[in-house]
Amino acid sequence: MFRLKRIGTIHSPYKERHEAPTQGKDKTAEIEVCKEYEGD
């Protein structure tokens, strides 16, 4: 059995997977890592 644990959040202008281009560069996304997983 697998146990999933959130390690962060992705903030993206795309809300559905099919909206995102395969290799698009026109919009940016931000990845927010939870504090307990941040490096020094």
CA atoms of 3 and 18, how far apart (whole Å)? 27
User: Domain locations in the chain?
Assistant: 1-14+28-40
Supply φ then ψ for residue 19, to 5 degrees.
Answer: -75, -25
List, as one string, the DSSP characters of the chain.
-------EEEE-S--SGGGS-SS--SS--EEEE-GGG---
pLDDT at 33: 95
d(CA 12, CA 27): 8
Is the distance from CB of 23 to CB of 2 less than 8 angstroms? no
What digits encode the pLDDT tens for the residues 1-40? Answer: 999 999 999 999 888 988 888 776 778 889 999 999 988 7
